[in-house]
Amino acid sequence: QITLKESGPTLVKPTQTLTLTCTFSGFSLTTRGEGVGWIRQPPGKALEWVAVIYWDDDKRYSPSLKSRLTITKDTSKNQVVLTMTNMDPVDTATYYCAHRRAKAQIDYWGQGNLVTVSS
């Protein structure tokens, strides 16, 4: 059974750096094809891919956010960490951690972590 859980701050100030951690179980990021990513959803709005990392350390970033993002994995802890620099109020959203296999759909989601950017 695959589960994912996000952890991190609920409030950050403008210009600060956001760090979110996804802790997962039920699969390993050392297994060929496995991937973990982040999708965000502003309040009342649609979903947007942010970043994904795969078993072979291949990383993909949203083109519009790429300069601000870093995604890393710690396979010994079954964790994926997302950092986003220079946070702005428009980045206010629920950030979901999710599982996908390479070239496939998202099949498991975490419960989400609402991040508000405000001074």
Partner 1 sequence: EIVMTQSPVTLSVSPGERATLSCRASQSVSSDLAWYQQKPGQPPRLLISGASTRATGIPARFSGSGSGTEFTLTISSLQSEDFAVYYCQQYNNWPGTFGPGTKVDIK
Residues of this chain that bind partner 1 (CB under 8 A)? 46-49, 60, 62-63, 96, 100, 103-107, 109-112
Whichever of 14 and 33 has its CB closer to partner 1, that residue is 33
Whichever of 4 and 29 has its CB closer to partner 1, that residue is 4
Shortest spacing between CB 94 and partner 1, in angstroms: 8
Whichever of 18 and 51 has its CB closer to partner 1, that residue is 51
Shortest spacing between CB 50 and partner 1, in angstroms: 9
* Other C-beta atoms lying within 10 Å of the C-beta of residue 113: 22
3-state secondary structure of 90: helix
Whichever of 15 and 104 has its CB closer to partner 1, that residue is 104
List Cβ neighbours of 108 (8 Å cut-off, separation of 6 or more): 2, 3, 4, 98, 99
Shortest spacing between CB 76 and partner 1, in angstroms: 26
Helix and strand totals (H; E) in the chain: 0, 11
Shortest spacing between CB 48 and partner 1, in angstroms: 7
- With 0-12 / 13-18 / 19 or more C-beta atoms within 10 angstroms meaning exposed / middle / buried, residue 89 is exposed
